[in-house]
Amino acid sequence: MKRFKIDHEHFSSNITFCLIFLAAFFSCFVNIQAQDEVMPEKDSRPVKNTFESIWLLDNQTVLVPIKGTFEMDFQHRFGTWEKGYDDFFGIFAPSNMRIGFDYVPVDRLLVGFGFTKLDQLWDVYGKYALLRQGRTAGSPISLTYYVNAAMDTREKENTYFTQNADRWSFYHQLMIGRKITDDLSLQVSGNLSWFNTKAPVVNSEGVVIGRDQNKHFSASALARYKFSNTMGLIVEYDQPITDQKYFDPEPNLSIGLELVTSSHAFQVFVGNFQSLIPQYNQSFNANSFSDNQILIGFNITRLWNF
């Protein structure tokens, strides 16, 4: 089995990008905090709309809507456009889609579930706002914890599973976000993906030679810049950290536009993540942005308040 090779020069440039992003993030934090200290009035109420949706591209955000919010999410990813006009730049290539439902039963806590076309995955998840950024006082950041559990429900003969416990995977994410200005919001997160079992790796003769680690660490960075009351530029970068033995996933870069109303959020973008379950994206992404393995995606959310 030919082992996946990491382009160390490309990897180093990605790490440099992350460091620059983090430096900019925390320098903004220091500057804004210093400004806050000279303001005469203190308001510790949470800031509004650090992000407009619980999703930004392929990642959850620090946002937990107000108590009583019910939301429906529709996410779609076309195929990669590397074949060009042959499959109309991926639009007619095999695609992936997910529909999900979320509810906020108590303050700061969101719970939800969804179903994804690829691998017939059912997922359940929860998100809790540990800290919420204050307007001019209180916490200078928002800190949110997200956990996801997904189950592959394909027929046994179409999988490598030997028992039902093998079908489960899990994802833990700790997000730090800050609304820098009325228009600019940033978020960074550390992520842990866990699979109870991974597919066995076989050589050219069909002999099993091993499996990759069950766990995989990664980091993500998000940014949104509003250039009008309803539209904004959105960017995401995801960097694998764990060095696996047989397959190392590709990093992801996504960029697009977000259009929002009081009850809807619509995001359209290009990127190279195609799975819609975070642990699958972070652990198994084989699409390389530099090799033109890019796809068009969109998210639509609709919420109701009860």
Residue pLDDT tens, the chain, 306 long: 444 444 545 545 555 555 555 555 545 554 545 444 555 578 888 999 999 999 999 999 999 999 999 999 999 999 998 888 888 888 989 999 999 999 999 999 999 999 999 999 999 999 999 999 999 889 999 999 999 999 999 998 888 898 999 999 999 999 999 999 999 999 999 999 999 999 888 887 777 888 999 999 999 999 999 999 999 999 999 999 999 999 999 999 999 999 999 889 999 999 999 999 999 999 999 999 888 899 999 999 999 987
- The whole-number pLDDT of residue 250 equals 96
Number of domains in the chain: 1
Asked, for residue 2, whether it belongs to a domain, the answer is no
Asked, for residue 106, whether it belongs to a domain, the answer is yes
Asked, for residue 43, whether it belongs to a domain, the answer is yes
What is d(CA 293, CA 287) in angstroms, rounded to the nearest whole number? Answer: 5
- The whole-number pLDDT of residue 255 equals 97
- The whole-number pLDDT of residue 101 equals 97
Asked, for residue 3, whether it belongs to a domain, the answer is no
Asked, for residue 267, whether it belongs to a domain, the answer is yes
Is the whole-model pTM more than 0.95?
no
Residue pair 237/252 in contact by the 8 Å Cβ criterion: yes
Residue pair 305/289 in contact by the 8 Å Cβ criterion: no
Helix (H) / strand (E) element for 24: namely helix 8-37
Range of the domain at 74: 8-305
The CATH number of the domain holding residue 253 is 2.40.160.40
251: three-class secondary structure by DSSP: coil
End-to-end CA distance of the chain: 55
Asked, for residue 47, whether it belongs to a domain, the answer is yes
Asked, for residue 1, whether it belongs to a domain, the answer is no
What is d(CA 218, CA 216) in angstroms, rounded to the nearest whole number? Answer: 7
What is d(CA 304, CA 165) in angstroms, rounded to the nearest whole number? Answer: 36
**What is the CA 142 to chain-centroid distance, rounded?**
17
What is d(CA 306, CA 170) in angstroms, rounded to the nearest whole number? Answer: 30
> What distances in angstroms separate CA 59 from CA 27, 53, 236, 259, one per listed residue?
24, 11, 8, 17
